Structure 1
Amino acid sequence: MVYKRKIKKTYLLTPLALLISGVLSPTVFADDTLLEVIEVHGHVQNKHLALGSSESLLSDLGVDFSAAGGVSNLPILNGLMGDRIKVRVDGADVTAACANHMNPPLSYISANQITAYNVVAGISPVSAGGDNIAGVISVNSISAQYNENNGLSWHSGYVSAQYNSLGNGRKLGMGARVASDTVSFNYQGAFSDAKSYDDGNGDLVFDTLYRVQNHNLTAAIRDEKQQFVLKLSHQKIPYQGFVNQYMDMTDNTSYGAIAQYKRSFENSELEAQLNWHSVKHEMGFFSAEKTGMMPMKTDAQDISSQLKWRIALDQNSSILLGQEYYHYSINDWWPAVEGSMMMGPNEYVNINNGKRERIAVFAEYESQLNKQWWLNTGVRIENISTNAGEVQGYNNGMPMMNMGTMNSMPMQPNNATAAIEFNASDRAKTDTVVDVSLLLNYQITNNDELQFGLARKNRAPNLYERYSWGVSNMATTMIGWYGDANGYIGDPNLAVETAHTFSSTYIKSAKEDDWRISANVWYTNITDYIDADIIRPFNRFGLEDTTRNVLKFTNVDATLYGVKLDLTANIYKSKQLGNWQLKAKVTNTRGNRDDTNQPLYQIKPLQTEFAINQQLGRFENTLSWQWVDTKTRIDNNRFENQTSSYSLVNLNSKASWGNLTLSAEVTNLFDEYYQLPLGGVSIAQIKQGSSNRFEQLAGQGRSFNMGVSYVF
C-alpha cells in the first residue's frame, strides 16, 4: 500500500483540528491522486515511558475522568460521562459489562500499547461513530511496520518500567516486532500493580489497590495495494478496588480479536473490519479494606463489523460510504449466598439474556472547497434495538427489612413483586435515529483560522438504564456508575437522548510560529437527557449523615455550555539554557436540567493549567501547576458534595542517551490535601468506621516516580 503522511507537530489541539486530522487519517489512495494523510499521534517521542492507564495521555487532550478503580476511571467530555462518549479501541466498540461500569473500554488497553490517539469533543463526523452525544475518543495499538528485506528478521523492541512511591506502584511494559517487507508480527504487554494510596494528609485512602495485565499479538501481511491485519488481545484483572462503590472487582478476564482489511484502488479505498470481544467479570470483596460477602457475575460479548468505502471525487474532495453492525449480549446474575436469609435461596437474575443491537449506514462528504474553506458534512441513520429476558429475585417471599435500621424495621418494596411486573412488561424496544454533522474551517489569513460546527447526535439507553428492575435498597445500590452511594432503578420506556450542539473556535498564531492561541465556545441542548428522579430516601448504615436516595432513571431536557482557552508560546531560547515553552489552558463548563434548573451531576468547576517546559540537549524538564476552583454547583438529588479549591504542582524531568531514556517525576510536589470534584464518595471509609458521613474521595498525595525505557 502507498501512504503519504504529514505528521503534525504536537499541539494541544482544538476539537475541530483533531476532528479534521481524524477524518483524514484513514484515507489511502494509490497512483497520482494521492491525498495527504494527517495523523495525530500522541507524544510519539519517548512514548514507551507512558505506562498504566491511558488517562495520562488523554488528559492532555482535554478529557476529564470520573474516579473509579485504578485503571477504570470513566472519561468525561464537555460535562458528559460514560456511554455518552464513543470510545473506540482499534476501531472496535467495547461495552462496559458491569452494573457499575467497572470495565469500561479504556480499561482494556495500557498506555504503552497505544501508538495513536485522538479526542473530538462535542461535534464529530458521522464516520467517527454513532450512539454518542459527547464526542469520540479513539485509541489505536495496531501499527503495522515492516522491514526493507524480504526475509523475516528482527525489527524493534522495548522494555519500560516505572516505580511510584505512592501506593508502592509498579508498572512494566514490553514490546517486540519481527518483520519482512510484506509480513509483520508484533507483541505488546503491560503489567501494573499498586496498593492503596495516601492522601495529602498522609491518611490511607482505603480500597484503591489494583493489579492488571494486558497482552496484544498482531500479525499483518501486505502487498502494493492491500493489507490484512489480525490482532488478538487478552486481559486479566485478578482484583481492583472501587472505593466509591459498594462492591469491588474480584476478576475480569477478557479475550478479543480484530480482523482488518484495507485495499486501495485507482481512486478509492475499501476498508473492512470484524471485531469480537468476550469478558467474564466478577464482583465481590477481596480486601480487609472493604469487607463483605456477596458475589456478582456477568458474562458478555461484543460482536461488530464495519465496512467503509472512500471514493475520491476529484483532487480536493471525496465521499465516504459506510455500513456498521453491532451486537452486544450480556447475562448478569448474583449467585445465592449459602446460609443467607436475604441473598437466597435463588440466584438473583439482574439481566437475563440482555441484547443491544445496532445497524447503521452513513454517507459523508469532505472537500477542500478552495484555499480558505474546508467542509465536512454527513448523515448517519441507525436502528437500535434492545431486549432482555425474564428475571427473578433471591426469593419469592416477603420484602426485606431496611438494612441499617433494624430498630424501626421499615419494610422495603418487594423484589419478588417487581420481578413479576417486569416479566409481564413489554421489554423489546426499537429506535431509529438520525445523526447529522456539519463542519466548516475558514482560513482567514495564514495566521488566523475560524472553525464552526453544528451537529445533531443521538444515544440510546444502555441495558442497565432500561432493564435494572430491582427495587429494594440493596438491589438498587448495586446499580450505578456514578460513585455517589445512591441506588438506581431502570425504566424500559426510556427514550433516546438527542443532542443539538454548536461549536466555534478561533485560532491565532504568530508568523514564525512562536506562539499560538485558541478560544473555543460550545453549546449543547439535549432532549430526553437520561437523569434520575428521587423515589425515596434510605439509610443503609443507620448513621446520622449517611442518608441516600433511591432514584429512577428518567428523561428530562438539559443544557450544557462552556469555554476553552489554550495558549502555547516559545518564551526563551539560548545555547546555555535551552528552549523554553509556556503552555496554558483554561476550561469552564456548566450544565443544568431545564425543568428545575438544578446543576447536572459531576460537572467540573473552573480549571486552569500552566506548564513551563525546558529542552536542553538530551534533557527535557517540565514544571506544571493546576488550579481547580471551588465546586458549589451540585446535584442535590444525588447528595453531591461541594469541594474546596485546590492547586497541584508537578515536576518532571527526562533524558535520553541513545536508546535509553530515564525519567524522574514528583507529583503533588507540596503534598496538598484535596478532594476530587469528580471523585464521588468514599464508601470504604464508612465501612471501615473511620467516618460517619459520605466524604468526598480524596486525591493522591505526593509521589516520587522513577521510570526507564530501553529501545532495541
Structure 2
Amino acid sequence: MKQSIIALAVFTACAPVHIYANTIDLADNTSTEVVTVIGTPLSLSTQNIEQESVSATSNIDADFGDQLATLPGVSISRNGPVTGLIQYRGLYGDRVGVSIDGVDITGAGPNAMDSPLSHVLPEPGLTATLYRGIVPVSAGVQTLGGKLRIHSDASALFDLNTGFSGSVSANAISPGSGQQYQGNVFYKSEQAFVSGAFTHQQRDEQESGDNSVIPNSHYQRNGGKFRAGVEWGNHQVDVSYQQLNTNESGTPALAMDIGFIDAAWYRLGYRYNANDREFFTLSWFGNSNQHAMDNFSQRMVMSADMARKNNADAIAQGVDATYVMPFYEGDLKLGAYLHHSRNNSTITNPNNGMFFVDNFTNAEKDTASVYTEWQQDKASFSTTIGTRYTRVDMDAGLAGSNMVMMNPAIAKLVDDFNAAERDKSYSMLDVAASTRYHASDNVDIILGVSQKNRAPTYYERYTWLPLGISGGMADGFNYIGNLTLDNETARQIDVGIDYRFKSWSVSPRLFYQDIQDYITGSPSTNMAANMVSTMMAGTIPFQWTNTDAVIKGADLTVSGNLLDNVRLNAVASVQHGNRDDIDDALFRIAPEQLITTIQWDTQLLNAPMALQLTSELAGAQNHVSALQSENTTAGYGLVHITGLFTFVDNAHSNLQVTATVHNLFDKHYATHTAGINRVMNTDVAVGERVPAAGREWHLSLSYRF
C-alpha cells in the first residue's frame, strides 16, 4: 500500500469542516428551510440563520462532495475526483442550481468536467447552504432541482474585529500519495477589509477495498482568491476575483481526461441599507473558463487515428439586483436578473492536422428574469409566496468538419443543422409557496408547493454530431441534440413535520414531483446520425427528447443528546424516479441511505477532544434504467472514525489536529451514483462501475491566528 502525503480540508481555513450537516431554519418563525453544510457564518445576524456547532474533520474528496453527501436527499454523481455533480432528490447536473459568492458559473466542458463544485476555494466565513424542499423563487433562476449557495457574506466580514487574522493547514492521506495545503490572511480596518486565500491539491491514484488501483483517480489543482470591501454610511462595496487552475486530472467515467482547466470568476457587489428592513443590492459578475481534454495522454488509445483532443471555452457575464422593503405586515422582495453565456468547442486529432470537428460554435444563451416574493412571519404561522418570470433566448453558429468530404452521413448532419432554425426563446413562469404552522411549542407542520421550469442546455439542443456528450450523465451512449425541445416544467409538493423534545429534534419530509417535458435520451430515428454512431461506436445514438417523469420519496433528520457530552445525528433519504412515457426507471438515481454519527466530547491532558463514529448504510439499487443498460448495485455498510484534538484555543490562536480513518474495515464497494469505467488496461474492467476508495488514513494540522 503506497504511503502518501496529503491534502487539506478545503474549508478548515476559516472554520471547522463538518462531516455531518445539521438542519437549521431561518429563525423559528420563517417558512423557508435551509441546511448549512460547511463552515459557520461569521455573524448569526446574517440571513437570520440559527446555527448549531457540529463536528469537524478534513475533507475526503478534493471538491468536498463527501460533506454534501451527508445532507438529506443529497448524493454525489462522480465521474472523476474533481468532477462531482450534486444530486438532490433524484435530480442532478444542470437541474440543481449552484452559485459561488453570487456567481452562477458557466462551465466550458459539455460533460461537466468543470462542474460548479470544482470552482470553490476557501476564505474566511465560507458556508454552503442548501434549500431543503421547496426553493423560494428569490433563491435563483431555474432552480427546478434545488439550489446550493456557497458564499461568504460581505456584511459579516464588515462586522469582524479590526486587525490581522488568518489560518494555514495541511493534511496527509494514505494510500494515494498526495499533498494539499491551503491558507488565508484577512485584514480588517474600521471601514474596510482585504483578504487573500490559496490552495494546492494533488494526489496519485486511489486504491479500492480489494487493493485494486482506481483508474485515473489522480488530480492536481492550484488556486488563489482576492477579496476586498469598503463601507461608508449606509453603503457597502465588495469585490472578488478568483483563479483556479486544474492540471492533469482523471475522469474515468468519461471518454476523455482533463488536460487543464484555467478558470477565473469575478464579482463586484454593492449594498445600500436604508434601515433594518429595507435594503438594495446590486452585483455584476462573470467567469471565463479555458478547458482542454483528450483521450490519449492519460489513458491508452486503440490507434493514432482514434486520438482526440477537445479544446473548449466558456465566457459569461451577469447582473443581479434585489430590493427588499416592508409590505403588508411582512417583507416584500423584488428582483431582476440578466445573464449571458457563450460556449465553443473544437475537436482535433494531434496525429492528423487535417481532422477537425466544430462541435459548438458561439452557442449562446441569454437569460432575463424578474421576480417578486412576499414573506410574513406571525406567532402561529409563517408564509413565503413568490413568482418569477424568466425568458431564455438561445442560438448557435454553424457546424463543420473535414469529414463532410468523405462521409455523406456527416455531410447531411452538417447541412441539416446549418439550414435549421437554431435560435429559440423560452418563456417560463415559476411559482413557489410554503407555510410553517406552529401547532405547539414542540411541533411545526410544513407544507409547500411549487412550479419550476428549466430551459434546455446548449448541448441538449446543439449537439449535431452523435458524441458521448451527456452533461455528465456518462451512460456510455452517444447523444445527438434536438432543436425542437421544450422547457421542463416540474410541479412539486413537500410535506413535513418538525418535532422537538428536550435536546431532540426529528424532521421528516415527504415529496412528490411531476415533471412535464422532462428532457432525457430516447433512441434516435435520425438515419444519418444512426449511421455515424453505428460506425463509430457500434450502437445507435440517443436523441434528447421531451418525455414525462415522476420522482417521489422522503428524507429525515434526527439529532439529540444521548448523554451530556454524547450527541447523535442521523439523516436518511430515499427517492424513486420513473419515466412516464415508458415503464423505465430514471438513470443513476441514488438508493436509500442512512448516515448516523455519534460524537463524544471530552478532554485529553486538559485539552478539548472530540471523538466521532459514523455509520454509513446504503441499500441495493435494483430499480434501474433498462433502456440505458444500467446495472444494479449491491448495498453496503461503512464505518468511519474521527478524532479532533485542540492543543491551543484562545482569542489569538487555535491549533488543531484531526485524524480520520475512512472505511475502517476496508470494504470493497461501488456507489450506485459512481460512473462506469472507460479506461482500458487497468485493474477495473471497462464497463464496470468505478469502485470507491478502501481504507484511507487522514491526518490534518490546522493553525488559526
Which interval holds the TM-score relative to the shorter structure?
A: 0.7 to 0.9
Alignment of 1:355-370 (within 5 A): 355-368=364-377, 370=378
Amino acid at match of 2:627: N
Q: 2:585 aligned with 1:599, yes or no?
A: yes
Q: 2:308 aligned with 1:294, yes or no?
A: yes
Shift of 1:689: 6.3
Q: 2:131 aligned with 1:145, yes or no?
A: no
Distance 2:430 2:283 in 1: 22
Q: 2:281 aligned with 1:271, yes or no?
A: yes
Distance 2:52 2:416 in 1: 51
Mark the CA change 1:53 to 1:649 in structure 2 (over 3 Å): closer, same or farther: same
Of residues 309, 313, 322, the one that matches 2:327 is 313
Shift of 1:112: 6.1
Show CA shifts across 1:588-627 (max 9, x none).
1000001212100011112112111111141111101111
Task: Check whether the contact 2:533–2:540 (CA below 8 A) recurs between aligned residues.
Answer: no
Task: Tell me what 2:117 maps to.
Answer: 106
Q: 2:317 aligned with 1:303, yes or no?
A: yes
Shift of 1:96: 2.3
Q: 2:16 aligned with 1:13, yes or no?
A: no
Shift of 1:192: 1.0
Task: Check whether the contact 2:270–2:283 (CA below 8 A) recurs between aligned residues.
Answer: yes
Task: Check whether the contact 2:31–2:382 (CA below 8 A) recurs between aligned residues.
Answer: no
Task: Check whether the contact 1:78–1:122 (CA below 8 A) recurs between aligned residues.
Answer: no
Distance 1:274 1:676 in 2: 39
Alignment of 1:483-562 (within 5 A): 483-510=474-501, 512=502, 514-535=503-524, 550-562=541-553
Mark the CA change 1:250 to 1:348 in structure 2 (over 3 Å): closer, same or farther: same
Task: Check whether the contact 2:57–2:642 (CA below 8 A) recurs between aligned residues.
Answer: no
Q: 2:683 aligned with 1:694, yes or no?
A: no
Mark the CA change 1:147 to 1:444 in structure 2 (over 3 Å): closer, same or farther: closer
Task: Tell me what 2:703 maps to.
Answer: 710
Amino acid at match of 1:76: Q
Of residues 407, 424, 430, the one that matches 1:429 is 424
Amino acid at match of 1:633: H
Task: Tell me what 1:410 maps to.
Answer: none
Task: Check whether the contact 2:587–2:624 (CA below 8 A) recurs between aligned residues.
Answer: yes
Alignment of 1:154-233 (within 5 A): 154-233=163-242
Task: Check whether the contact 1:52–1:191 (CA below 8 A) recurs between aligned residues.
Answer: no
Q: 2:294 aligned with 1:284, yes or no?
A: yes
Show CA shifts across 1:69-100 (max 9, x none).
21220000000010001111111111222121
Instruction: Name the SS for the 1:697 alignment partner.
Output: coil
Alignment of 1:398-417 (within 5 A): 398-399=406-407, 414-417=409-412
Pairwise CA RMSD: 2.8
Of residues 618, 624, 629, the one that matches 1:628 is 618
Mark the CA change 1:67 to 1:594 in structure 2 (over 3 Å): closer, same or farther: same
Distance 1:469 1:113 in 2: 45
Mark the CA change 1:263 to 1:166 in structure 2 (over 3 Å): closer, same or farther: same
Distance 1:247 1:226 in 2: 48
Task: Check whether the contact 1:84–1:133 (CA below 8 A) recurs between aligned residues.
Answer: yes
Q: 2:378 aligned with 1:333, yes or no?
A: no
Mark the CA change 1:539 to 1:243 in structure 2 (over 3 Å): closer, same or farther: farther
Task: Tell me what 1:85 maps to.
Answer: 96
Amino acid at match of 1:20: T
Task: Check whether the contact 2:137–2:387 (CA below 8 A) recurs between aligned residues.
Answer: yes
Distance 1:42 1:283 in 2: 42
Amino acid at match of 2:222: Q
Q: 2:386 aligned with 1:378, yes or no?
A: yes
Mark the CA change 1:94 to 1:102 in structure 2 (over 3 Å): closer, same or farther: same
Distance 2:351 2:406 in 1: 19
Task: Check whether the contact 1:183–1:220 (CA below 8 A) recurs between aligned residues.
Answer: yes
Show CA shifts across 1:551-598 (max 9, x none).
11110000000011221121123xxxxx11112222110000012121
Q: 2:69 aligned with 1:59, yes or no?
A: yes
Instruction: Name the SS for the 2:376 alignment partner.
Output: strand
Instruction: Name the SS for the 1:396 alignment partner.
Output: helix
Task: Check whether the contact 2:25–2:50 (CA below 8 A) recurs between aligned residues.
Answer: no
Task: Tell me what 2:12 maps to.
Answer: none
Q: How many residues align?
A: 658
Instruction: Name the SS for the 1:13 alignment partner.
Output: strand
Task: Tell me what 1:406 maps to.
Answer: none
Shift of 1:58: 1.9
Shift of 1:665: 0.3
Amino acid at match of 1:65: I
Amino acid at match of 1:631: Q
Task: Check whether the contact 1:358–1:383 (CA below 8 A) recurs between aligned residues.
Answer: yes
Task: Check whether the contact 1:16–1:451 (CA below 8 A) recurs between aligned residues.
Answer: no
Show CA shifts across 1:414-447 (max 9, x none).
2222011100000001011000000101111111
Instruction: Name the SS for the 1:636 alignment partner.
Output: coil
Mark the CA change 1:635 to 1:45 in structure 2 (over 3 Å): closer, same or farther: closer
Q: 2:676 aligned with 1:675, yes or no?
A: no
Amino acid at match of 1:584: A
Shift of 1:142: 4.8
Q: 2:567 aligned with 1:584, yes or no?
A: no
Percent of aligned pairs sharing the same letter: 24
Of residues 237, 246, 253, the one that matches 1:244 is 253
Amino acid at match of 2:696: S
Shift of 1:48: 8.4
Distance 1:47 1:705 in 2: 9
Task: Check whether the contact 2:252–2:675 (CA below 8 A) recurs between aligned residues.
Answer: no
Task: Check whether the contact 1:349–1:391 (CA below 8 A) recurs between aligned residues.
Answer: yes
Amino acid at match of 2:181: L
Mark the CA change 1:257 to 1:86 in structure 2 (over 3 Å): closer, same or farther: same
Mark the CA change 1:540 to 1:555 in structure 2 (over 3 Å): closer, same or farther: closer
Instruction: Name the SS for the 2:400 alignment partner.
Output: coil
Amino acid at match of 1:59: A
Task: Tell me what 2:337 maps to.
Answer: 324
Show CA shifts across 1:32-60 (max 9, x none).
xx998423679688688798423133223
Shift of 1:629: 1.0
Shift of 1:203: 0.4
Distance 2:348 2:219 in 1: 24
Shift of 1:638: 1.6
Task: Check whether the contact 1:500–1:524 (CA below 8 A) recurs between aligned residues.
Answer: yes
Distance 2:172 2:682 in 1: 31
Q: TM-score under structure 2 normalisation?
A: 0.88
- Unaligned 5+ runs, structure 1: 1-8, 25-33, 400-412, 574-578
Task: Check whether the contact 1:15–1:119 (CA below 8 A) recurs between aligned residues.
Answer: no
Task: Tell me what 2:9 maps to.
Answer: none
Which deviates the most, 126-135 or 661-670?
126-135
Mark the CA change 1:294 to 1:526 in structure 2 (over 3 Å): closer, same or farther: same
Amino acid at match of 1:218: R
Mark the CA change 1:564 to 1:111 in structure 2 (over 3 Å): closer, same or farther: farther
Amino acid at match of 1:612: I
Task: Check whether the contact 2:640–2:662 (CA below 8 A) recurs between aligned residues.
Answer: yes
Q: 2:608 aligned with 1:608, yes or no?
A: no
Q: 2:367 aligned with 1:354, yes or no?
A: no
Distance 1:604 1:69 in 2: 17
Mark the CA change 1:288 to 1:227 in structure 2 (over 3 Å): closer, same or farther: closer
Amino acid at match of 1:309: Y
Distance 2:345 2:573 in 1: 39
Amino acid at match of 1:12: N
Amino acid at match of 2:508: A
Q: 2:405 aligned with 1:397, yes or no?
A: yes
Distance 1:172 1:327 in 2: 35
Instruction: Name the SS for the 2:176 alignment partner.
Output: helix
Shift of 1:637: 1.8
Shift of 1:321: 0.5
Shift of 1:492: 1.1
Instruction: Name the SS for the 1:324 alignment partner.
Output: strand
